[in-house]
Amino acid sequence: MTAAPGPVPVKIAPSILSADFARLGEAVAAVDAAGADYIHIDVMDGHFVPNLTIGPGVVKALRPWSAKPFDVHLMMAPVDPYVQAFAEAGSDIITVHAEAGPHLDRTLQHIRGLGKRAGVALNPATPVSALAHVLDRIDLVLVMTVNPGFGGQSFIPAMTAKIAEAAALIGDRPVELEVDGGITPETAGAVAAAGANVLVAGSAVFGTEYYERNIRALRNSVG
Protein backbone atom coordinates (compact mmCIF):
# COMPACT_ATOMS: atom_id res chain seq x y z
CA MET A 1 0.00 0.00 0.00
CA THR A 2 1.35 3.40 -0.94
CA ALA A 3 0.83 6.32 1.37
CA ALA A 4 -1.34 9.07 -0.06
CA PRO A 5 0.66 12.18 -0.80
CA GLY A 6 0.24 14.62 2.06
CA PRO A 7 0.39 18.38 1.90
CA VAL A 8 3.78 19.71 0.81
CA PRO A 9 5.53 20.87 3.98
CA VAL A 10 6.43 24.53 3.61
CA LYS A 11 7.78 27.06 6.05
CA ILE A 12 6.21 30.49 6.25
CA ALA A 13 8.51 33.46 6.77
CA PRO A 14 6.55 36.69 7.33
CA SER A 15 8.49 39.74 6.14
CA ILE A 16 8.36 42.49 8.73
CA LEU A 17 8.94 45.01 5.94
CA SER A 18 5.15 45.15 5.75
CA ALA A 19 4.66 45.57 9.51
CA ASP A 20 4.12 48.81 11.41
CA PHE A 21 7.68 50.08 11.85
CA ALA A 22 6.66 51.95 14.98
CA ARG A 23 5.73 48.63 16.61
CA LEU A 24 8.16 46.11 15.15
CA GLY A 25 8.74 44.19 18.38
CA GLU A 26 5.04 43.55 18.84
CA ALA A 27 4.77 42.56 15.17
CA VAL A 28 7.54 39.97 15.53
CA ALA A 29 5.95 38.51 18.67
CA ALA A 30 2.53 38.47 17.00
CA VAL A 31 3.59 36.55 13.88
CA ASP A 32 5.62 34.17 16.04
CA ALA A 33 2.46 33.40 18.04
CA ALA A 34 0.46 33.16 14.81
CA GLY A 35 2.60 30.28 13.54
CA ALA A 36 5.49 31.81 11.58
CA ASP A 37 8.42 29.44 11.04
CA TYR A 38 11.00 32.14 10.37
CA ILE A 39 11.02 35.90 10.90
CA HIS A 40 12.14 37.44 7.59
CA ILE A 41 14.01 40.72 7.99
CA ASP A 42 14.66 42.83 4.90
CA VAL A 43 17.77 44.99 5.04
CA MET A 44 18.13 47.59 2.27
CA ASP A 45 21.06 49.92 1.76
CA GLY A 46 19.84 52.55 -0.71
CA HIS A 47 22.53 51.47 -3.20
CA PHE A 48 21.96 47.86 -4.14
CA VAL A 49 18.23 48.51 -3.96
CA PRO A 50 16.41 51.84 -4.13
CA ASN A 51 15.18 51.84 -0.54
CA LEU A 52 16.51 52.03 3.02
CA THR A 53 15.24 49.96 5.89
CA ILE A 54 16.96 48.69 8.98
CA GLY A 55 20.42 47.97 10.37
CA PRO A 56 21.93 45.55 12.85
CA GLY A 57 20.84 47.67 15.83
CA VAL A 58 17.21 47.01 14.98
CA VAL A 59 17.84 43.28 14.52
CA LYS A 60 19.44 43.22 17.97
CA ALA A 61 16.52 45.11 19.48
CA LEU A 62 14.06 42.63 17.95
CA ARG A 63 15.93 39.53 19.07
CA PRO A 64 14.20 39.23 22.49
CA TRP A 65 10.76 39.32 20.86
CA SER A 66 10.96 35.83 19.31
CA ALA A 67 12.96 32.62 19.63
CA LYS A 68 12.17 31.66 16.01
CA PRO A 69 15.02 31.82 13.49
CA PHE A 70 15.76 35.29 12.18
CA ASP A 71 16.02 34.99 8.39
CA VAL A 72 17.98 38.10 7.47
CA HIS A 73 17.92 39.14 3.82
CA LEU A 74 20.73 41.56 3.11
CA MET A 75 20.02 43.66 0.01
CA MET A 76 23.35 45.42 0.26
CA ALA A 77 26.54 45.85 -1.75
CA PRO A 78 29.23 45.66 -0.63
CA VAL A 79 27.90 43.34 2.05
CA ASP A 80 31.10 42.00 3.58
CA PRO A 81 31.74 44.89 6.02
CA TYR A 82 28.34 44.27 7.67
CA VAL A 83 28.08 40.49 7.88
CA GLN A 84 29.66 40.23 11.31
CA ALA A 85 27.45 42.94 12.77
CA PHE A 86 24.31 41.15 11.57
CA ALA A 87 25.62 37.86 12.93
CA GLU A 88 26.29 39.39 16.34
CA ALA A 89 22.89 41.06 16.34
CA GLY A 90 21.23 37.65 16.43
CA SER A 91 20.66 36.57 12.83
CA ASP A 92 20.30 32.82 12.26
CA ILE A 93 20.24 32.77 8.46
CA ILE A 94 22.20 35.43 6.59
CA THR A 95 21.35 35.70 2.91
CA VAL A 96 23.39 37.79 0.51
CA HIS A 97 22.77 38.52 -3.14
CA ALA A 98 24.96 36.85 -5.73
CA GLU A 99 26.15 40.34 -6.80
CA ALA A 100 26.82 41.62 -3.27
CA GLY A 101 30.59 41.52 -3.51
CA PRO A 102 33.53 40.44 -5.61
CA HIS A 103 34.00 37.04 -3.91
CA LEU A 104 30.74 35.25 -3.17
CA ASP A 105 32.51 32.08 -2.09
CA ARG A 106 34.54 34.01 0.48
CA THR A 107 31.44 35.80 1.81
CA LEU A 108 29.66 32.48 2.29
CA GLN A 109 32.64 31.01 4.13
CA HIS A 110 32.64 34.09 6.35
CA ILE A 111 28.95 33.64 7.25
CA ARG A 112 29.40 29.97 8.10
CA GLY A 113 32.58 30.77 9.98
CA LEU A 114 30.47 32.98 12.23
CA GLY A 115 28.28 29.97 12.97
CA LYS A 116 25.34 31.13 10.85
CA ARG A 117 23.40 29.52 8.03
CA ALA A 118 24.35 31.01 4.67
CA GLY A 119 21.95 31.92 1.88
CA VAL A 120 22.31 33.27 -1.65
CA ALA A 121 19.60 35.41 -3.24
CA LEU A 122 19.02 35.60 -6.98
CA ASN A 123 17.43 38.67 -8.53
CA PRO A 124 14.89 37.93 -11.26
CA ALA A 125 17.51 38.45 -13.99
CA THR A 126 20.29 36.56 -12.19
CA PRO A 127 20.72 33.06 -13.60
CA VAL A 128 20.47 29.94 -11.44
CA SER A 129 23.93 29.05 -12.72
CA ALA A 130 25.36 31.68 -10.33
CA LEU A 131 24.91 29.00 -7.62
CA ALA A 132 26.60 26.17 -9.46
CA HIS A 133 30.00 26.36 -7.79
CA VAL A 134 28.95 27.37 -4.27
CA LEU A 135 26.26 24.79 -3.59
CA ASP A 136 28.24 23.08 -0.86
CA ARG A 137 28.69 26.38 0.96
CA ILE A 138 25.01 27.29 1.26
CA ASP A 139 22.05 26.34 3.40
CA LEU A 140 19.41 28.34 1.55
CA VAL A 141 18.70 29.64 -1.93
CA LEU A 142 16.40 32.65 -2.21
CA VAL A 143 14.73 33.11 -5.58
CA MET A 144 13.43 36.67 -5.79
CA THR A 145 10.01 36.63 -7.41
CA VAL A 146 9.95 40.45 -7.67
CA ASN A 147 12.78 42.94 -8.10
CA PRO A 148 14.01 43.63 -4.58
CA GLY A 149 13.37 46.95 -2.87
CA PHE A 150 9.71 47.15 -1.97
CA GLY A 151 6.89 45.11 -0.55
CA GLY A 152 3.56 44.77 -2.28
CA GLN A 153 4.80 44.15 -5.82
CA SER A 154 3.32 41.63 -8.24
CA PHE A 155 4.79 38.14 -8.60
CA ILE A 156 6.79 37.72 -11.83
CA PRO A 157 5.31 34.61 -13.53
CA ALA A 158 8.56 33.66 -15.32
CA MET A 159 10.05 32.90 -11.90
CA THR A 160 8.06 29.67 -11.55
CA ALA A 161 10.25 27.94 -14.13
CA LYS A 162 13.33 29.41 -12.48
CA ILE A 163 12.30 27.94 -9.11
CA ALA A 164 12.03 24.52 -10.76
CA GLU A 165 15.47 25.01 -12.27
CA ALA A 166 16.93 25.92 -8.85
CA ALA A 167 15.21 22.91 -7.26
CA ALA A 168 16.76 20.63 -9.87
CA LEU A 169 20.21 22.09 -9.26
CA ILE A 170 19.84 21.69 -5.49
CA GLY A 171 18.75 18.07 -5.92
CA ASP A 172 18.82 16.19 -2.64
CA ARG A 173 21.26 18.53 -0.90
CA PRO A 174 20.12 19.91 2.48
CA VAL A 175 19.50 23.36 1.03
CA GLU A 176 16.21 25.20 1.52
CA LEU A 177 14.59 26.91 -1.46
CA GLU A 178 12.93 30.16 -0.47
CA VAL A 179 10.85 32.52 -2.58
CA ASP A 180 10.27 36.19 -1.88
CA GLY A 181 7.98 38.74 -3.47
CA GLY A 182 4.31 38.73 -4.37
CA ILE A 183 3.63 35.47 -2.53
CA THR A 184 -0.06 35.18 -1.72
CA PRO A 185 -2.54 32.29 -1.44
CA GLU A 186 -3.01 32.75 -5.21
CA THR A 187 0.68 32.34 -6.12
CA ALA A 188 1.89 30.03 -3.32
CA GLY A 189 0.58 26.81 -4.87
CA ALA A 190 2.55 27.21 -8.10
CA VAL A 191 5.82 28.11 -6.39
CA ALA A 192 5.53 25.20 -3.96
CA ALA A 193 4.71 22.84 -6.81
CA ALA A 194 7.87 24.07 -8.54
CA GLY A 195 9.91 23.16 -5.46
CA ALA A 196 9.92 26.16 -3.11
CA ASN A 197 9.77 25.12 0.54
CA VAL A 198 10.10 28.45 2.37
CA LEU A 199 7.59 31.16 1.49
CA VAL A 200 8.33 34.78 2.41
CA ALA A 201 5.21 36.90 2.62
CA GLY A 202 4.93 40.53 3.61
CA SER A 203 1.63 41.99 2.43
CA ALA A 204 -0.15 38.63 2.54
CA VAL A 205 0.60 38.28 6.27
CA PHE A 206 0.60 41.88 7.51
CA GLY A 207 -2.05 43.26 5.13
CA THR A 208 -4.75 42.58 7.68
CA GLU A 209 -4.30 42.09 11.41
CA TYR A 210 -5.49 38.47 11.31
CA TYR A 211 -1.99 37.05 11.16
CA GLU A 212 -2.90 33.51 12.16
CA ARG A 213 -5.60 33.29 9.51
CA ASN A 214 -3.29 34.81 6.89
CA ILE A 215 -0.47 32.34 7.64
CA ARG A 216 -2.92 29.44 7.59
CA ALA A 217 -4.31 30.61 4.24
CA LEU A 218 -0.81 30.48 2.78
CA ARG A 219 -0.19 26.97 4.14
CA ASN A 220 -3.58 25.74 2.98
CA SER A 221 -3.01 27.01 -0.54
CA VAL A 222 -0.07 24.66 -0.94
CA GLY A 223 -0.17 20.95 -1.62
Active site residues per annotation: 42, 180
Window of 1-9, 56-64, 84-92, 150-158 that interacts with ligand DX5 by CB under 6 A: 150-158
Name which position in 180, 183, 194, 215 contacts Zn ion (CB under 5 A): 180
C-beta closer to ligand DX5: residue 173 or 208: 208
C-beta closer to Zn ion: residue 32 or 180: 180
- Vertex 205, ends 76 and 165: CA angle to 5°? 60
100 touches 48 (CB < 8 A) = yes
216 touches 4 (CB < 8 A) = no
* Cα–Cα distance measured from residue 56 to residue 79, given in angstroms and rounded to the nearest whole number: 13
| Sequence-separated (6 or more) residues with CB below 8 Å from residue 154 | 146, 182
Interface with Zn ion in residues 69-88 (CB under 5 A): 73
180 binds ligand DX5 (CB under 6 A): yes
84-93: b or e for each residue (b if 16 or more CB lie within 10 Å)? eebbebbbbb
Instruction: Please confirm whether the linkage preceding 78 is cis (ω < 30° from 0).
Output: yes
The neighbouring-strand residues paired with 176 are: 140
126 binds ligand DX5 (CB under 6 A): no
Interface with ligand DX5 in residues 83-112 (CB under 6 A): none
Which x/- pattern, by CB under 5 A, does the window 9-48 give for Zn ion? Answer: ---------------------------------x------
Question: Would you tell me which residues interact with ligand DX5 (CB under 6 A)?
Answer: 15, 17-18, 40, 42, 73, 146, 148-153, 180-183, 200-204
Question: Would you tell me which residues interact with Zn ion (CB under 5 A)?
Answer: 42, 73, 180
